Amino acid sequence: MRLTFLGAAGEVTGSCYLVETGEIKFLIDCGMFQGGGRGRAGAAQRNRRFGFDPTEIAFVLLSHAHIDHSGLIPRLVALGFRGAVYATRATVDLLGVMLPDSGHLQEKEAEWENRGRFRRGRGRELAPLYTVQQARDSLKQLLPVDYDAEVRPHASVRCRFRDAGHILGSAILEIGVRANGRERHIVFSGDLGQPGHPIVRDPTPIARADLLLVESTYGNRNHRDRAATLEEFAVALEETLERGKGNIVIPAFAVGRTQDILYVMSEFCRSGRVCPPRIYVDSPMALAATRITLDHPELYDRETARLSAWMQDGQGKTEIRFTEDVEDSKRINAIRSGAVILSASGMCEGGRIKYHLKYNLPRRECAVVFVGFQAAGTLGRRIVEGAKTVRIFGETIPVRARVHTIGGLSAHADQMALLGWLGKFHAPPGATWVVHGEPLAAQALSERIVEDLGWSAESVGVARAAQTIEL
C-alpha cells in the first residue's frame, strides 16, 4: 500500500493525495491549484494534468468545500471518474453553489485567454478547465455523510468524518484501510480550525493513527490572541470610518471567512465597539453560503447561537446588503466613503474583489484589510508584501490605500493550536507527514513536533510534491 502527495506539499494549494492499496485507488481531496510559487500560468497547467488515470479512481474522500480542496472534482468527473465523492452534509450543500460558480470562472478565464490569443494572432483556442454544466453534472456524484458515522466506501475501507472546526462542514478524516491482511489507520487533518473561532466548533481531538497527514499553513507562527486581534480589526475599521472620506475593502473567501467577518462586525455592534453603517457583501456565492450557514444551526458553537438569537430579535443596527447581480456590484464602485466592502476571492485572484481594488487601492483615504492567508504568487500576497503598484485587468494600479493584515482572524490553526491538537494523540503515530504549508512553515512545524512533543525525528517528515511513501 502506498500514498502519493499530488498537491499541497511544500505549498498551500491543490490538496490531493492518492492512496493505492493494490486492490483499489482512491483520493483524499481533489483540489485546484491557485496562484502558488509557479504563478498563475503554472497553476493553470497543473490543473489540467492529473498524475493518475481518473477512470481508475474508486472514490474520493473530501475534507471540506474550499476550492483548493474540492475544485478539480468536476474535471475528474469529466475525464471519466464514476465513483462517489463522500463529504459532510454541509460540504455537499456548499459545493452545490461553489462548483458551478467555479465552472463559471473557468469559462470566463478561457474567454479572456482566447481574446488575448486572437489579438496576438497565435495559438489555438483554449477550452475551459471545465464548464458550468460539467460542474453541475459532478454534483450528482456527491454522497453526504454525517459527522462521526462510519461509512464504507469499499469493502476494504472504512471512514469517519470528524469536525475540523475550520469552516462549516469541514472534516478530519479517520480512514481504516485493509490491505495484505492487516488494517492501517490513516488520519488526515484536513484544514484545522483555530480554537475559539467564530461559528464552528473546535477541532475534534484524535487518539491514534498509524499514518498522520497534518496541515501546516501557519506551522511557523502564532496568531495574535483573540482580544488583541479584535481590537486591531476594530481600530482598522475606525481609522477609515471616522475620517468619513474612504471605504474599507476586505478580500474574503465567500465560504467561511465572509460569515466569520459578518459575525465579528455584528459582535462589535452588540458590544458598542464600532458599528459600520453600511456593509456590502459583493458575492452571490457569499449570499448562498450565508443562507446555507443559517440552515445548519446544529453546527454552531455556543457563542454563535447566542449572537444569532440577538440578531433574530432585530437588535442588530448594521445595514448588511448582499448584491444580487453585476449591476448592484457596479453601483458599489460609485460609493466614495463609509462603505465596508466584503468580496471574493480571498486571495484577490479572481471575482469581483479585483474591481473594488481597482477603484479603491489608488485612494489614500481608503483601506484594504486582509483577514486570511495569502499564498505565494497571488495578487493578495503582492499587496501584503508592499508592492507599490499591481496589475489588475491589464492596468497598472498604484497602491496608496492603507493595508492592514489581521492574522488572528484566520480559520487555520496557528502553530500553538496545531501542537495542541497533535498533543492529544495517546501515542505518537507510526509516521507523520507535514503537508499543506509553504516550506519554512512545514519545516518549522516538523521540528516543533519533535522538540515539544517528543516524537521521533525519524517518524516525522515534510512532504514533497509527487513524493510516494510506502505504508
Instruction: State which amino acid sits at residue 5.
Output: F
Query: Which grid cell sits at 11?
Result: 505549498
Give the pLDDT score at 158.
Answer: 98
CATH number for the domain that contains residue 182: 3.60.15.10
Nearest to 190 by CA among 87, 292, 44: 87
Q: What confidence score (pLDDT) does residue 40 get?
A: 57
Task: Look up residue 356 and give its three cell numbers.
Answer: 473594488
> Same domain, yes or no, for 118 and 71?
yes
> What integer is the mean pLDDT of 83-94?
98
Confidence of residue 244 (pLDDT cuts 50, 70, 90): confident
| Dist. CA 36–CA 379, nearest whole Å | 11
Place 114 in a pLDDT band, splitting at 50, 70 and 90.
Answer: confident
Q: Which three cell numbers stand for residue 415?
A: 502553530
Calpha distance 26→35 (Å, rounded): 26
Is 173 within 8 Å of 392 (Cβ atoms)?
A: no
Whole-number pLDDT of residue 38: 47
Please state the rounded mean pLDDT for residues 6-18. 96
Highest mean pLDDT among 111-120, 151-160, 345-354, 402-411 belongs to 151-160
State residue 353's pLDDT score.
93
Residues 163, 238 share a domain? no
pLDDT of residue 119 exceeding 80, the answer is: no
DSSP line for 91-105: HHHHHHHHHHHHHHH
Locus of grid cell 495542541: 420
Q: Give per-residue pLDDT as tens, 412-455.
A: 999 999 999 999 999 999 999 999 999 999 999 999 999 999 99
| 348 and 251 share one domain | yes
Low-confidence winner among 80-84, 85-89, 316-320, 372-376 (lowest mean pLDDT): 316-320
Grid coordinates representing 429 are: 503515530
**pLDDT on residue 157:** 98
Mean pLDDT for the stretch of residues 10-23:
96
254 with 401, same domain: the answer is: yes
396-421: per-residue pLDDT in tens? Answer: 999 999 999 987 888 899 999 999 99
Four-CA torsion 274, 278, 284, 288, nearest 10 degrees: 50
pTM: 0.87
Indicate if 434 and 337 belong to the same structural domain.
Answer: no
pLDDT at 314: 55
Q: Where are the beta strands (DSSP E) in 164-270?
A: 171-179, 182-188, 211-215, 248-251
Number of neighbours of residue 450 by Cβ within 10 angstroms: 17
Q: How far apart are CA 418 and CA 191, in angstroms?
A: 10
Show which of 409, 428, 447 is a domain's final residue.
Answer: 409
Boundary residue ending a domain (370, 389, 409)? 409
* pLDDT at site 13: 92
Laid out side by side, the sheet with 402-405 consists of 319-322, 278-282, 339-343, 248-251, 367-370, 402-405
Strand partners, 396: 391
Helix, strand and coil percent figures for the chain, each rounded to 5 = 35, 25, 40
What are the beta bridge partners of residue 25? 20, 57
Q: Is the preceding peptide bond at 446 cis, omega within 30 degrees of 0?
A: no
Query: In terms of Cα–Cα distance, which of 153, 136, 131 is closest to 62?
Result: 153
Number of domains comprising the chain:
2
User: Do 237 and 102 fall into the same domain?
Assistant: no
Are 25 and 95 spatial neighbours (Cβ–Cβ below 8 Å)? no
Phi and psi (nearest 5°) for 186? -105, 130
Query: Where is the domain boundary, 376, 394, 409?
Result: 409
Contact 1, 468 (CB under 8 A): no
Question: What percentage of the chain exceeds 90 in pLDDT?
Answer: 68
94 in the same domain as 233: no
- Torsion sign, CA atoms 304, 409, 30, 134: positive
Domain hosting 233: range is: 226-409
Cβ-defined contacts of 142-147 (< 8 Å, 24+): 142/84, 142/85, 142/87, 142/92, 142/95, 143/84, 143/85, 143/86, 143/87, 143/92, 144/87, 144/88, 144/89, 144/91, 144/92, 145/86, 145/87, 145/88, 145/89, 146/88, 146/89, 147/88, 147/171
Judge whether residue 317 has pLDDT over 70: no
More confident residue, 230 or 423: 423
| pLDDT greater than 50 at residue 57 | yes
Residue 199 one-letter amino acid: I
Q: Specify the CATH number for the domain of residue 265.
A: 3.40.50.10890
Confidence of residue 37 (pLDDT cuts 50, 70, 90): very low
Cα(336)–Cα(461) distance, rounded to whole angstroms?
Answer: 51
Give the integer Cα–Cα distance in Å for 169 and 300.
11
Across the chain, mean pLDDT equals: 91
Q: Above pLDDT 70, what percent of the chain?
A: 96
Is residue 396 domain-shared with residue 423, that is, in the same domain? no
What pLDDT band is residue 374 in, cutting at 50, 70 and 90? confident
Q: How many residues does the chain have?
A: 471
Please tell me whether residues 308 and 247 are part of one structural domain: yes
* 81 lies in the same domain as 138: yes
Residue 249 shares a structural domain with residue 213: no
Residues 399 and 427 in one domain: no
Split at pLDDT 50, 70, 90, the class of 41 is low
Question: Given a cut of 90, is residue 275 above it in pLDDT?
Answer: no
CA-closest candidate to residue 150, choices 140, 141, 161, 137: 161
Instruction: Name residue 363's amino acid.
Output: R
Report residue 44's pLDDT band, with 50, 70 and 90 as the boundaries. confident
